[in-house]
């Protein structure tokens, strides 16, 4: 019996899978740790590294002056030095790298680094940054119709404010990198990154090496959620800098607390909206201003903000729209990509407006939601005509299967009899565009080898971070070749085999890389068909015969998503390959006496196309839902008045656990779709369903406190639930934008 390589899931289940920090170290390897700024904004003229350099086991302390190339790791804008040089702009910004013979020795020495600090004023939330004019760029506006002319025609106009906090990625695997010098003067960098090519470019720039002397390899990630798209680059560059300086392998792997303190989160948002409706409840006009807390550098903030622009109307058709967004620079670690990438923040804002309008009209929000869902042929506010629209199909399937109106009626009846335990219900629809909004990223490369024994090797730019992309690639290649799937192996991603790869992000990993792999497999299959036109031979026989006939059994293919066309000047075009639809009903329970809330159940109908791997897809929907619920209920990112992270461990930062996570039931709506093997992307869109948890809890609270303000603040932690039930009504925020600390600031 032929031995078959274990798949990624099998290795994980057996506990045999190796992550970057698990890789065996070469002889003489060193460990790196960073010294960081203790102040949110400060300058210095001299670093004090003497004590650190003299510490036991320390070989070197590297500063910005030791960087042979460019001191820069900014992916979009060159505003992020690898090591701060005479100015720090947040607590936790790396200022030097300590190399030692043991990880603990490096960390202890890093704590001894000091400077002649001169503390400067710091800005710690988006509202304050906007008032000070600290914007990453000019405000951007998407508009359609004539909003100003529409307001007088509206029978009802509501307005309000939304404040949404950040979210820690909390991946099981923290950031890590291992750089190994090669005998040709190059570097092999094992990086825990979603962006191997971005890390390769940055390492080459920092070290001064050409890109072909830098190989970045990624076997797997222990979770990413966007946090390892750009911010893993810093750690890869630090390890590479240490390896180049010492001519020895260097591993950099911060512990959980340092990882949380140094890296960015989901962007906090502040929103102000106006929503106009006619007498029948049809949406006529929507205007919203969104302020984004970018943190100290650009990172991916403009791209995140752009996806907010695209998704500001969510799943609704609105003829007159004006959406204005601003990215605000604060003295906090740079916020970055996070599952959903700005869409959930925008969607939560319009959903808040819908509930305000429903309350004013005396109807359930579902009445307005269903009446205004997008339909076939609708044109979005950015000029894209929607085709194969499944929004109402998903909604109606949810109604038929789970009956949200009955659940709401049952909750109302319960609440009338139970003053101390209240129940709430909410429904959330989904319309999520799939593609990178940066058009150049919508491409992929794949290399397929068929060996003479019939086994198959596939290399793409896709990084498996628990989302099961490897399983989908295996299935696609096996299907195209006509080979047994157990003979197909997906290789670790490496920049020496596939070049210029796009990040595994934007829910495009399977679509892009699967299409490229399918194209490569198709080339190989065409060769096989020359020697066996009728396909009568068994797989291994076909391969052997092709080899004897000198037919090529390898192929490299490139794929670019067709049909994408968006004009950044006019804000019109087709930025997405397709949209994913769905709907979810969320039920919650609030203990009025204790002031606590529980999300009980989330029932989902999700548009999946043809599911390639049903267990993977169900797991992705369930995981995304729980992550969305966590963001809006218990995951509170808090800084003190000096910009220091208070929630810097999993003891002080609360993620959902088995006791608090809701029951999730998922129905996959399966029908042919434009993605890989007729499927649709599944990674990011389902997180939107978690927004229903916020409004289901508010629904339960309002049954006990009818005067609950319409303005929304999240996360709805137990503290916030208690105050909403028993505290004084909050003062009205500023008229222009909501006040408060979008970063979860706690002065003191």
**Residues that are catalytic:** 684
With beta carbons less than 8 A apart as the criterion, state whether 404 and 425 touch. yes
For 542, the 3-state DSSP assignment is: helix
With beta carbons less than 8 A apart as the criterion, state whether 234 and 296 touch. no
In which region does residue 500 sit, left (phi positive, over 0), alpha (psi from -120 to 50) or beta (all else)? left
Give, as one character, the DSSP assignment of residue 1.
Answer: -
Q: How far apart are CA 250 and CA 429, in angstroms?
A: 48
DSSP labels, 461-523: SPPPSSS-HHHHHHHHHHHHHT--GGGEEEPPEETTTS-SPPPS-TT-HHHHHHHHHHHHHHH
DSSP labels, 360-381: HHTS-HHHHHHHHB--TT-B-T
Structure tokens at 421: 């335990």
Give, as one character, the DSSP assignment of residue 3.
Answer: -
DSSP labels, 612-656: SSHHHHHHHHHHHHHHHHHHHHT----EETTS-BS--STTTS---
For 547, the 3-state DSSP assignment is: helix
Helix, strand, coil shares, percent, the chain, to 5: 30, 25, 40
Q: What is the 3-state secondary structure (H, E, C) of 10-56?
A: HHHHHCCCCCHHHCCCCCCCEEEEEEECCCCCEECCCEECHHHHCCC
**How many CA atoms does the CB half-sphere of 134 hold within 13 Å?**
21
With beta carbons less than 8 A apart as the criterion, state whether 370 and 405 touch. no
φ, ψ of residue 304 to 5 degrees: the values are -60, -45
Angle at 446 between CA 443 and CA 448, to 5 degrees: 165
Give the CA distances from residue 338 to residues 261, 436, 539, in Å, rounded to whole numbers and listed in that order.
17, 14, 43
With beta carbons less than 8 A apart as the criterion, state whether 236 and 179 touch. yes
Structure tokens at 98: 């300590």
Q: How far apart are CA 571 and CA 381, in angstroms?
A: 9
Q: How far apart are CA 288 and CA 713, in angstroms?
A: 16
Q: How far apart are CA 683 and CA 506, in angstroms?
A: 8
Q: Locate tokens 């390769």: which residue?
A: 200
CA 88 centroid distance within chain = 26
By the 10 Å C-beta count (0-12 exposed, 13-18 middle, 19+ buried), 247 is classed as exposed
φ, ψ of residue 468 to 5 degrees: the values are 80, 25
Q: How many CB atoms lie within 10 A of CB 57?
A: 17
Structure tokens at 13: 């289940």
Distance, first Cα to last Cα, the chain: 67
């Amino acid at each position: 019996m032929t031995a078959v390589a274990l798949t990624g899931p099998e290795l994980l289940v057996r506990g045999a899978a190796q992550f970057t920090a698990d890789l065996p170290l070469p002889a003489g390897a060193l460990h790196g740790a960073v010294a960081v700024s203790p102040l949110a904004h400060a300058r210095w003229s001299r670093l004090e590294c003497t004590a650190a350099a003299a510490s036991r086991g320390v070989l070197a302390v590297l500063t910005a002056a030791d960087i042979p190339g460019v001191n820069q790791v900014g992916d979009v804008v060159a505003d992020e030095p690898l090591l701060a040089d005479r100015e720090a702009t947040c607590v936790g910004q790396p200022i030097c790298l300590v190399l030692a013979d043991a990880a603990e020795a490096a960390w202890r020495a890093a704590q001894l680094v000091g400077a002649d600090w001169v503390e400067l004023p710091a800005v710690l939330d988006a509202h304050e940054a906007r008032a000070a004019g600290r914007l990453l760029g000019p405000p951007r506006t998407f508009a359609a119709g004539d909003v100003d002319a529409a307001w007088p025609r509206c029978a009802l106009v509501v307005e309000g404010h939304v404040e949404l906090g950040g979210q820690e990625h909390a991946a099981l695997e923290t950031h890590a990198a291992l750089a190994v010098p090669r005998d040709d003067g190059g570097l092999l960098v094992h990086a825990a990154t979603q962006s191997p090519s971005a890390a390769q470019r940055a390492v080459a720039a920092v070290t001064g090496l050409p890109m072909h002397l830098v190989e970045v390899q990624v076997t797997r990630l222990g979770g990413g959620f966007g946090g390892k798209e750009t911010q893993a680059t810093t750690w890869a560059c630090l390890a590479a800098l240490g390896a180049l300086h010492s001519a020895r392998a260097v591993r950099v792997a911060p512990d959980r607390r340092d990882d949380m303190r140094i890296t960015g989160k989901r962007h906090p948002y502040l929103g102000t909206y106006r929503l106009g409706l006619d007498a029948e409840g049809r949406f006529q006009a929507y205007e919203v201003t969104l302020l984004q807390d970018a943190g100290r550098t650009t990172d991916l903030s403009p791209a995140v903000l752009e996806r907010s622009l695209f998704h500001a109307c969510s799943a609704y058709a609105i003829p007159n729209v004006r959406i204005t967004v601003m990215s605000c620079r604060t003295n906090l670690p740079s916020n970055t990509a996070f599952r959903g990438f700005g869409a959930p923040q925008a969607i939560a804002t319009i959903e808040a407006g819908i509930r305000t309008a429903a309350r004013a009209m005396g109807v359930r929000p579902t009445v307005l939601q269903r009446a205004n869902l997008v339909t076939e042929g609708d044109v979005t506010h950015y000029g894209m005509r929607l085709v194969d629209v499944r929004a109402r199909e998903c909604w109606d399937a949810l109604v038929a299967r789970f009956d949200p109106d009955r659940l709401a009626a049952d909750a109302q009846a319960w609440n009338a009899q139970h003053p101390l335990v209240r129940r709430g219900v909410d429904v959330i629809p989904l319309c999520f565009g799939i593609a990178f909004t940066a058009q150049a990223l919508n491409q992929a490369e794949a290399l397929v080898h068929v060996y003479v024994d019939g086994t198959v090797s596939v290399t793409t730019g896709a990084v498996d971070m628990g989302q099961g992309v490897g399983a989908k690639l295996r299935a696609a290649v096996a299907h195209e070749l006509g080979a047994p799937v157990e003979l197909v192996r997906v290789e670790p991603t490496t920049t020496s085999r596939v070049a210029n790869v796009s990040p595994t992000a934007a829910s495009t990993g399977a679509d892009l890389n699967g299409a490229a792999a399918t194209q490569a497999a198709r080339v190989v299959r065409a060769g096989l068909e020359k020697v066996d036109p009728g396909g009568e031979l068994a797989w291994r026989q076909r391969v052997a015969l092709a080899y004897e006939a000198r037919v090529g059994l390898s192929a490299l293919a490139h794929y670019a998503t067709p049909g994408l066309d968006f004009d950044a000047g006019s804000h019109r075009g087709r930025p997405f390959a397709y949209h994913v639809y769905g709907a979810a009903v969320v039920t919650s329970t609030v203990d009025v006496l204790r002031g606590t809330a529980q999300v009980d159940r989330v029932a989902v109908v999700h548009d999946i196309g043809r599911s390639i791997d049903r267990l993977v897809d169900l797991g992705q929907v369930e995981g995304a839902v729980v992550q969305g619920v966590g963001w809006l209920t218990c995951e509170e990112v808090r800084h003190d008045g000096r910009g220091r992270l208070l929630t810097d461990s999993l003891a002080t930062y609360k993620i959902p656990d088995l006791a608090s996570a809701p029951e999730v039931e998922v129905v996959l709506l399966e029908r042919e779709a434009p993605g890989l093997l007729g499927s649709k992307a599944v990674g990011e869109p389902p997180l939107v369903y978690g927004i229903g948890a916020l409004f289901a809890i508010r629904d339960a609270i309002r049954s006990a406190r009818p005067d609950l303000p319409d303005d929304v603040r999240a996360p709805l932690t137990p503290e916030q639930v208690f105050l909403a039930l028993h505290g004084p009504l909050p003062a009205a925020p500023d008229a222009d934008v909501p006040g408060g600390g979008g970063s979860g600031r706690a002065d003191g």
